[in-house]
Structure 1
Amino acid sequence: MNYADSDSDHKGRAQRALRAMFRRAWKKMKPPPRLSIAAWTVKYRVLSNEESSLRGRFSWNVSPALRGIAEVANHHATRKVVVQKSAQVGYTAGIVCNVIGYHIHYKPSVIVAAFPRAQAAKDFASEKLDPMIRACAVLRSRINLKSRADGNSMLRKRFPGGLAKLVGTNSPSDVKSTSARVVIVEEPDDAATDVRGQGNSIKLLEERVKTYADHLILIGGTPTAKDASAVEAEMRKTDKRYFHVPCHSCGETHVLAWENVTIPEPEDGAVREIYGRHQHEQAFYTCPHCGTVWTDDERIANLRRAEACGGGWVATADSAIPGFYLNELLSTFDESRIPVLARKYLEAKDKLDRGDPNDMIAFWNSTLGITWEYRGELPEEDVLRARAEKYDEWTCPMGALEVHATVDVQHDRLAVTVWAFGRGEEMWLVYWGELYAPTVVAHAGAWIELEQLLDKRIRHATGAALRIKAVGIDCSDGQTSDATYAFVRKHHKADRPVLALKGASDAVGKVEIWTPPKKVDPNNRSTKAARHGVSVGIVGTAKAKDLILGWSENAGRVRLEGNGPGRMHWYEGVRDDFYEQLLSEIKIPSRNNPARREWKPRTDRRNEALDCTVYAVYLYRAMRLHLRRPAQWDLAEHAVRQAPLLLEGDDAVFAPSAPAVPMQTSALQASDAVVQAPASAPVPPAKKVQPTPNSDSSSDDALFAPIRFY
């Protein structure tokens, strides 16, 4: 045996084994190749028949416009991406799922994906996320869907280096508890606008990324009503990109638009129910530059070659935030072919012509990806501004007989309205302003200023000095409710009730404006209000807004002009934002039930003035002014007319006029004494009112005494 040869073979095998070991180690240690989300998707993403009818390797040819969004989403300078989209464009599978998959496998991160409700998050997990994990080997190797170790569940997936958490936007703990590098918001128009008094859920979610310099926020969804759409509001902040598609005939590019769709209507065609003479089966798309008719196959081919032929995404505004508009004309799916869309349009138009706009609204939102504008349902701000009347702030014109104050509580200020009421619920705005100081701590900050404001006396046109007779304060915010309850307990008096108020969880108007508050049970103080010994008045806000604003033509008290029952008046010097805030909400069909309308705030508008006015309508009923008889109003008017005689010569009561309080200025900078009324026509002599012989004064006093809340 040749021992030299044997030793040489042994050394050779050892060297080969060592080289193989180093190769394996280097393969594990070397950084992965640089991949964008779009490239990662092509390399690793597999579609299963659980999540798509297009089983197999993912291809951007199915949704050509989405590739550009995916490329931008992980650009080094991108921190936020917004997509306003229609349905049937592949956004959830092509963007949301791929962003999550990329940050599980290639760039492990903490991911929070937020859905309108927890059930929607569960549906996404079972229908999209879990099938994707099972189908993609690189994801399957990192997440064991069968294991419940480390707290894994349907809505919580742990993997090496990160966590994917699916949440509903209506839970404060879900939207506030986890810091994340990636935050995804699905269908922002359906997201909670106020998470149990703690603020807008989208804003709360955006706070989760502050600790990550390289974070990504992805917001995408279908729009709803103009000026009330959250995704529309987000798009206003972006560079507003549109996908340009070249014509195969002339080569010019344009944005695919519904106005370029033609539905033939031959004069000699057969008349069909719903469609008339329109032949939706023959509908076609036309190039706006050269007039060439496109077949659906040509439209799809043009979409797929757009980026290679001078088309693709083009920004139309200057912003660091990329925003993308997607409509169903950019889809390649069979149900998005032009004849199918034409049929949907004609069916929606037929219903619209019959007085039912819901299907047309759905077509506008879900097919064209644009907002629906509700017209003629609220007056314009300028119309209300032109109706302002010539009386000063902190004064009451003739007809106003009782004054109430209402307060909306924010963390950094108190918004205050003072309304004077007369017969038939006619109301005059006496003051609108804000007290800027912290509100979380009781008996401090803005609460001290509020005490002084409520002690002000208001000059009546007769010369009388009126006091504020009732106060309603919002207590819906859990962070400020302790301070509110403390103020209520301290200042509630028999001759001036101070009430804690909260809006009902009712968007459609089933709850009455006023219902008797529940008394505090000393043996069961399970709520925060009860522990403070306070009863909370539940306000039927939807019904009150129906009364104040209305939502059909000619409805709503804000439209009523002149003097008389139900009229609303405001003074010329009122802060200009009063009009915008009073008209800050619109009533639109519910996304979940289009046959039902619900009040929604207009985006980018504050609504404190409207909330305070709603509380004022509630107070009018809580003080039983709506039940007063004419004789009792006569007595109230007589008391006001007689007041100047009783106070004549009392210099401490009246003081010279103070200027109107400017925006964001404390009301306490104005005079704390009574403000002079404007010059007006001579006041007629007071007419002494005698009780009628048949009236029962004692029973009337009992009937019309204010409601007792404690």
Structure 2
Amino acid sequence: MTRTTKKAAAKLNAAISGAIKRFAPPESLTVDEWADKHRRLSPESSAEAGPWRTKRTPYLEEPMRAFTDPKVHKIVMVAASQVGKSELELNIIGYIIDQDPGSILYVHPTIDDARKFSRLRVAPMIRDSKPLKAKVHDVKAKDSGNTILQKSFPGGMLTLTGSNSASALASTPARYIIGDERDRWATSAGTEGDPWALAEARQATFYNAKAVEVSTPTIKGASNIETSFYQGTQERWCHRCPECGEYSEIVFDAIHFEPEAKRVRGKKVWSLKGGVSWACPACGCLIPEETMRRQPAKWIAENPDAYKKGVRSFWLNAFSSPWTPWEKIVLKFLDAKNDPQRLKVVYNTLLGQLWEDRGDLEDEDTMLARREDYGTRPDGTPVELPDGVLVLTCGVDTQDNRLEYEVVGHGKYGENWGIVKGYIMGRPDTPEVWQRLDDVVDHVYKFKNGRGLKISITCVDSGGHFTQEVYEACRARQGKRVFAIKGKGGDGIPYVSPPTKVPIRDNKKITCWLYTIGVDAGKAAIMAGLKVQEPGPKYSHFNRHPDAGYDLNYFNGLLSEKLVLTSTRRGDRWAWEKLPGHNRNEALDCRDYANAGLKIINPDMDAVERRLRGLEEQPKPAPQRRARTKRSSSSAFDDW
């Protein structure tokens, strides 16, 4: 080869070498390996600027590796604040740009959030990571094709947008979708509907599409990230106990500390006596924080079968964060514990838990633990009526496919007992359903000594699609004091009003009695009673026997509503609203109707108690008889 030829070949190689490099196969790396090799943390956004080290946050290794798993098409991360979830997203973006390019749709709660994230997190990452800087031109570069919200690179484009931007969510196809702070997204992208559904629709043409959904948890039952988590493998970051070797998640309920409060200028200031430790749920041993931080940890899945569907989900709290001492978490909790709004922030951002704003009401777990064993009779059958019960009432809620009922025992001074909560499945327009209700109403409920009581009054909800059928059934059972009721909401409406006669099927000659119940007043009385902590006046007891029906679903329904102050055109008013995640409130309604029945009959509890004890009542002077006019008609109500 001549010198001239060699020079020409060298020039040709120099000219095409840059282009040929573009055809080099990507490195065989997982996301965490790529980050360890190429990612640098920027000083603007990190207290530990410099090379990325996965071992610093070992809990992020598995979620990053899941992204390169061909069997996984969706990753869900529920995490407290400041545990590195944003770095997880940034590492995935960097990996895509450098190793597996494709169009990325990165969705934030709002456009402003997207702009801020682009400037403060994405741009510094590109600037400080050599492979990314070589592939993504600076926004200021002439004809770069890049803006704050769009960044082009060979093989794809990163588009940042807000969940409220329908046009961005419903236009260009995208292989990758990353949703940040999912629980803060708009309910609807303009008028187009669910933003996540719009975004996922853009992946339809990609067989190798992947989605990443990340968020701090918010409100129980109204959390999108909670829903997504339970569709996946449901993995928790668990530490090994140095005493028994079992792996368990570190949660706040297992954290032990001794608080101490003092007042400084009238303000309470909290401190801790000694350190903070963790109680192993397996062996009960108390382990100091510094010991637990050195223990091995791993992700443990509660629903591993979801991996077959390609969805891996992870839940992480701040107790695993290398930057957050446990003492700081505890003190934040103590400072906020009497302020629901501040406590909600602690639950979401530090404890990594869903918040349920119950006001000052107990939760379901507390009520379950409050249940009592009513005892067993000599023949081995369960005691149905504890001592103290004097009167029984029954509340019935009418649904399209069933009747739900509760039998409630009432004693002196408002003390009450849940006797049985049950269902009668079937349409209320069929006689079999009402015959089975007769079995409940006619049953003799027994004390331990064998004596018994029957239900004094039954109140049946007449709302819904079977109003006339309820009227007919109640008319036929007036002799058993089974009455139709109609609930009426609103502040200031009396709990029980005098009954009225209503025609059945527009026939004024065939009527039944209908009571109007002020349900809001009844709910307030129920919730007030649930706050009473010691057996006695107004205390509510619940039967622990498994056949009694007082299970988690019952308490979820009983505690389904809270009283809130709402603003209207006519001014502020108090109203009962369902708590997020509590879709069924039949248990609350049944108790409300049963209590209304007691109010209707208004029994003399002292007299009932004397009769039950077999005591003789003191004789009363006989009332003077007076002439009565001829009654036009008779009814059970007229006889009271």
Is the TM-score greater than 0.5? yes
Deviations 1:329-373 (A, max 9, x none): 11001xx10111121121122xx2xxx312222221111111122
Partner SS state of residue 322, structure 1: strand
Residue matched to 2:28: 34
Aligned-residue offset at 1:182: 0.8
Partner SS state of residue 104, structure 2: strand
- Alignment match of 1:313 (pick from 299, 308, 318): 299
Aligned-residue offset at 1:398: 12
Residue matched to 1:491: none
Q: How far, CA to CA, are the matches of 2:576 and 2:98 in structure 1? A: 42
Aligned-residue offset at 1:59: 0.9
Partner SS state of residue 339, structure 1: helix
Residue matched to 2:374: none
Partner SS state of residue 243, structure 1: strand
Q: Does the alignment pair 1:369 with 2:352? A: yes
Q: Indicate if the aligned counterparts of 2:187 and 2:194 stay in contact, CA closer than 8 A.
A: yes
Q: How far, CA to CA, are the matches of 2:140 and 2:188 in structure 1? A: 36
Q: Indicate if the aligned counterparts of 1:275 and 1:346 stay in contact, CA closer than 8 A.
A: no
Amino acid at match of 1:79: H
Residue matched to 2:117: 124
Q: How far, CA to CA, are the matches of 1:420 and 1:250 in structure 2? A: 56
Q: For residues 275-674 of structure 1, what are the structure 2 equivalents within 5 Å?
A: 279=272, 282-285=275-278, 287=280, 289=283, 291=285, 293-296=287-290, 298-302=291-295, 306=296, 311-317=297-303, 318-319=305-306, 320=309, 321-333=311-323, 336-349=324-337, 352=338, 356-375=339-358, 385-386=404-405, 389-390=461-462, 393=465, 459-460=505-506, 462=508, 602=580
Q: How far, CA to CA, are the matches of 1:97 and 1:33 in structure 2? A: 19
Name the CA shift for 1:91/1:396 in 2 (closer, same or farther; >3 Å). same
- Alignment match of 1:68 (pick from 55, 62, 86): 62
Amino acid at match of 2:328: V
Length-normalised TM-score, structure 1 = 0.51
Name the CA shift for 1:13/1:174 in 2 (closer, same or farther; >3 Å). closer
Residue matched to 1:157: 151
Name the CA shift for 1:425/1:130 in 2 (closer, same or farther; >3 Å). same
Q: How far, CA to CA, are the matches of 1:221 and 1:123 in structure 2? A: 17
Q: How far, CA to CA, are the matches of 1:105 and 1:360 in structure 2? A: 42
Q: Indicate if the aligned counterparts of 1:111 and 1:165 stay in contact, CA closer than 8 A.
A: yes
Name the CA shift for 1:195/1:22 in 2 (closer, same or farther; >3 Å). closer
- Alignment match of 1:238 (pick from 226, 232, 237): 232
Partner SS state of residue 77, structure 1: coil
- Alignment match of 1:206 (pick from 200, 210, 230): 200
Q: How far, CA to CA, are the matches of 2:121 and 2:53 in structure 1? A: 17
Amino acid at match of 1:118: I
Q: Indicate if the aligned counterparts of 2:333 and 2:343 stay in contact, CA closer than 8 A.
A: yes
Deviations 1:610-648 (A, max 9, x none): xxxxxxxxxxxxxxxxxxxxxxxxxxxxxxxxxxxxxxx
Q: How far, CA to CA, are the matches of 2:335 and 2:22 in structure 1? A: 59
- Alignment match of 1:217 (pick from 190, 211, 235): 211
Q: How far, CA to CA, are the matches of 1:54 and 1:422 in structure 2? A: 58
Amino acid at match of 1:366: T
- Alignment match of 1:138 (pick from 127, 131, 141): 131
Aligned-residue offset at 1:287: 4.9
Aligned-residue offset at 1:100: 1.4
Name the CA shift for 1:332/1:30 in 2 (closer, same or farther; >3 Å). same
Q: Does the alignment pair 1:263 with 2:253? A: no
Name the CA shift for 1:258/1:150 in 2 (closer, same or farther; >3 Å). same
Deviations 1:154-181 (A, max 9, x none): 1122222211111111222222223211
Q: Indicate if the aligned counterparts of 1:263 and 1:278 stay in contact, CA closer than 8 A.
A: no
Q: Indicate if the aligned counterparts of 1:398 and 1:460 stay in contact, CA closer than 8 A.
A: no
Q: How far, CA to CA, are the matches of 1:316 and 1:230 in structure 2? A: 19
Q: Does the alignment pair 1:77 with 2:71? A: yes
Higher share of residues assigned strand: 2
Q: Indicate if the aligned counterparts of 2:237 and 2:299 stay in contact, CA closer than 8 A.
A: yes
Q: Does the alignment pair 1:185 with 2:179? A: yes
Residue matched to 1:172: 166
Q: How far, CA to CA, are the matches of 2:35 and 2:8 in structure 1? A: 40
Name the CA shift for 1:263/1:99 in 2 (closer, same or farther; >3 Å). same
Q: How far, CA to CA, are the matches of 1:681 and 1:67 in structure 2? A: 79
Amino acid at match of 1:61: K
Amino acid at match of 2:99: Y
Structure 1: segments with no counterpart, 5+ residues? 1-6, 400-418, 427-457, 465-546, 557-579, 591-596, 608-679, 685-710
Partner SS state of residue 461, structure 2: coil
Q: How far, CA to CA, are the matches of 1:118 and 1:44 in structure 2? A: 29
Q: Indicate if the aligned counterparts of 1:82 and 1:322 stay in contact, CA closer than 8 A.
A: yes
Name the CA shift for 1:232/1:391 in 2 (closer, same or farther; >3 Å). closer
Q: How far, CA to CA, are the matches of 1:587 and 1:324 in structure 2? A: 34
Q: Indicate if the aligned counterparts of 1:114 and 1:184 stay in contact, CA closer than 8 A.
A: yes
Length-normalised TM-score, structure 2 = 0.56
